Amino acid sequence: MLKQRILTALVIAPIAIACVFFLDVPGFSLFVGTIIVVSAWEWANLADFSGLKRYGYAGFIALLLGMAWFMPPVWVLGLALMWWLIALVFVVQFPGLSTIWGAQPTRLLIGALVLVPGFVSLVQLKLKADSNFLILLLFFLIWGADIAAYFSGRAFGKHKLAPRVSPGKSWAGFWGGMVTAVVIAAMMALWIGKPDLTTSRGAIFLGACLAVAVVSVLGDLTISMFKRHRGIKDSSNLLPGHGGFLDRLDSLLAAGPVFALFILMFDWQ
């Protein structure tokens, strides 16, 4: 299984990075939108939809993506931030409060709150002058924190982070991932030459990157919570060794809106 996961990752990661560098804004938006719509088809599975209903929900999310082009991005991203704060409560209390979010219509609504802002965040980052750097930084923060959490958790993980949601995650893994994320943020800032890490603006930048890494863990745990409630291990089997696109995007869908909101609202440079 590990070999299969590595091989799939070696295919996915270069494609994602190539799209960041070589696609223009419309092409990148179409690429991201297509993946989000496929993820919506997978989310419908988490909401107990099957057959044509899953395709119908994917079409509904595609419609919302189109509508999102005409909405102020800060509104969409701010709504996502509110959702992830609520999600934190749901994850901490799991399996309690499942009567609130477990109803099928509610899960379908939550899917829109997860998927649409994820799309908006990446498109907004692509529109920035430093788009390649910003999107790569976001990817590296998530990937770096995840990889470091895996190895530090295996080496030192005794105390579980959220055993009722994801028994494999530990506090040691969490802290290992956070330290790694800050190191990555500092190295990327030094590479591009901004912001100046010795200033208050640099400190805010590092704090924001740390917050992004924290929220990425919350995204992973939240999707795991929905899968555990549904009684399934993966959202689909489209990606060998990884499950579905949603299983790979869970951290990005949470971290992306937080990162994009920071970039839009603060002068990160």
Greatest mean pLDDT among 20-24, 174-178, 192-196, 234-238 lies in 174-178
Looking at residue 208, what is its pLDDT? 97
User: Residue 2 above 60 pLDDT?
Assistant: no
Looking at residue 157, what is its pLDDT? 83
Q: Residue 125: which residues within 8 A CB-CB, separation 6 or more?
A: 131, 134, 135, 138, 256, 259, 260, 263
CB 251 within 8 A of CB 220: yes
d(CA 8, CA 99): 36
User: Residue 7 above 80 pLDDT?
Assistant: no
Q: Is 71 helix (H, G, I), strand (E, B) or coil?
A: coil
Q: Residue 144: which residues within 8 A CB-CB, separation 6 or more?
A: 177, 180, 181, 183, 184
Q: What is the pLDDT of residues 201-246, one digit of tens each?
A: 999 999 999 999 999 999 999 999 999 999 998 898 887 666 889 9
Looking at residue 159, what is its pLDDT? 93
- Going by pLDDT thresholds of 50, 70 and 90, the confidence category of residue 4 is low
pTM of the entire structure? Answer: 0.94
Range of the domain at 89: 2-265
Structural domain count of the chain = 1
